[in-house]
Amino acid sequence: MSKLSIMAYTFGIVFFLVSCSFASFYGYKVVTHDLPKEEKIVKKYQYHFVMVPEELDNDYWRLVEKGARAAADKYGVQLEYVGPKQANIEDHVKTIEMSAASKVDGIMTQGLSDEQFTPLINRVVEKGIPVITVDTDAANSRREAYIGTDNYYAGYLAGKELIADTKGKANVAIITGTFYANHMQQRVKGFQDAVKEEKGIHIIAVEESEISRVKAAEKATQILKDHPEVTAFFGTSALDGIEIAQMVEKYQKQNQIYIIGFDTLPETIEYIRKGTIKATVVQEPYQMGYGAVTMMIDLINGKKVTPVVHTETRILRLKDLPLSYQDRKVEIR
Ligand code: BGC
């Protein structure tokens, strides 16, 4: 080998090693936090906020994001929407920690569990970064404010609706998002409290879907097999009702089984139109996102904000859909 080629070879190796160490040092940050150049932020935006949802591509969270982006565009906020690809508490926590480390002006996220989120939120707030909880509150933390559904009340409403629709006689299986999350526990508790005085209502199973469509379908199938006495389902997170409906149709039990779900995603509405899902609990994800951003701006500007803002919650049934929609013969699926 000539002297020149030895030098070129050595230079190549050194260059490669240096690039690798840069990539591994900054890699995670670059992937999860696609921060624009600092200069751009300074010129274009007044604030830099991060929203960390439970699951990035979940249709429900995309609506929260849409609302947040509308407010962000209006008020000159650089908004990053980052979080787990699939619901995962460790990734969720890590993303909040990374956002706090990059010293953003405010963080909007769920207060999923007291154990993991309360100390974390407190640490972030102590660093001087305001936190607003959205959709799920960590009421015992030092978060500045919460905007979202009153989850206990929402579960209670679902229970009362089920009693009315089944004339007080039902064997109910509940499929809930996760057992550990505050809002899911509150929805289940509200439901249990609403039906507890009803002699004819029995809760025969409570299972968790882990916010996964596949798991929700598996759990629904299992319940249909293990509990032939089941006559009603309550799905407490956005995708649960959809998957329950799919399984109930698969086993052709639409006429025997009553379903009440959560949220108003297009698939849920389509199942209501078909009559497979009888009712759903309406949440206002767009409002949550929009309101969280405006509240954060107010906080930063030293304005007083209402610490707990409950967005509207109500029940939606076939008769509440516009007539044109009820008659529609086109199917989304
Ligand atoms: C909940 C969200 C959850 C989503 C899951 C919604 O009903 O409010 O917290 O992430 O369902 O699909």
Residues within 6 Å of ligand 1 by CB: 54-55, 58, 60, 135-136, 177, 183, 211, 237-239, 262-263, 283
In this structure, of 2-11, 61-70, 113-122, the range with the lowest mean pLDDT score is: 2-11
The predicted model scores a pTM of 0.86
What does the pLDDT average to over 23-32?
36
Nearest CA among 157, 152, 134, 155 for reference residue 144: 134
Beta strands, E only, the chain: 47-52, 77-81, 106-109, 131-134, 145-148, 170-176, 201-208, 232-235, 258-262, 279-282, 308-310, 314-317
Give the Å distance between the CA of 235 and the centre of ligand 1: 11
What secondary structure, in 3-state letters, does 142-195 show? Answer: CCCEEEECCHHHHHHHHHHHHHHHCCCCEEEEEEECCCCCHHHHHHHHHHHHHH
Give the Å distance between the CA of 165 and the centre of ligand 1: 24
Residue 328: its pLDDT value, please?
55
DSSP 264: -
The amino acid sitting at 140 is N
For residue range 150-179, what is the model confidence (pLDDT) as tens digits?
999 999 999 999 999 999 999 999 999 999
**Do 233 and 239 touch, CB atoms closer than 8 A?**
no
Whether the predicted pLDDT of 51 surpasses 60: yes
Whether the predicted pLDDT of 131 surpasses 80: yes
Q: List the residue whose alpha carbon is closest to atom 1 of ligand 1.
A: 237
The amino acid sitting at 229 is E
Whether the predicted pLDDT of 30 surpasses 90: no
For residue range 267-281, what is the model confidence (pLDDT) as tens digits?
999 999 999 999 999
Residue 33: its pLDDT value, please?
52
pLDDT confidence bin for 9, thresholds 50/70/90: low
Percent of the chain scoring above 70 in pLDDT: 84
Whether the predicted pLDDT of 104 surpasses 50: yes
Query: Which ligand 1 atom minimizes the distance to the CA of 151?
Result: 8
For residue range 217-248, what is the model confidence (pLDDT) as tens digits?
999 999 999 999 999 999 999 999 999 999 99
Residue 3: its pLDDT value, please?
54
pLDDT confidence bin for 323, thresholds 50/70/90: confident
Query: Which ligand 1 atom minimizes the distance to the CA of 58?
Result: 12
Whether the predicted pLDDT of 15 surpasses 80: no
Give the Å distance between the CA of 211 and the centre of ligand 1: 7
Whole-number average pLDDT of the chain: 89
| Ligand 1 probe mutation, 86, 263, 281, 310, most atoms within 8 A of CB | 263
What does the pLDDT average to over 178-204?
98
Give the Å distance between the CA of 309 and the centre of ligand 1: 18
For residue range 279-308, what is the model confidence (pLDDT) as tens digits?
999 999 999 999 999 999 999 999 999 999
| Ligand 1 probe mutation, 51, 52, 54, 149, most atoms within 8 A of CB | 54
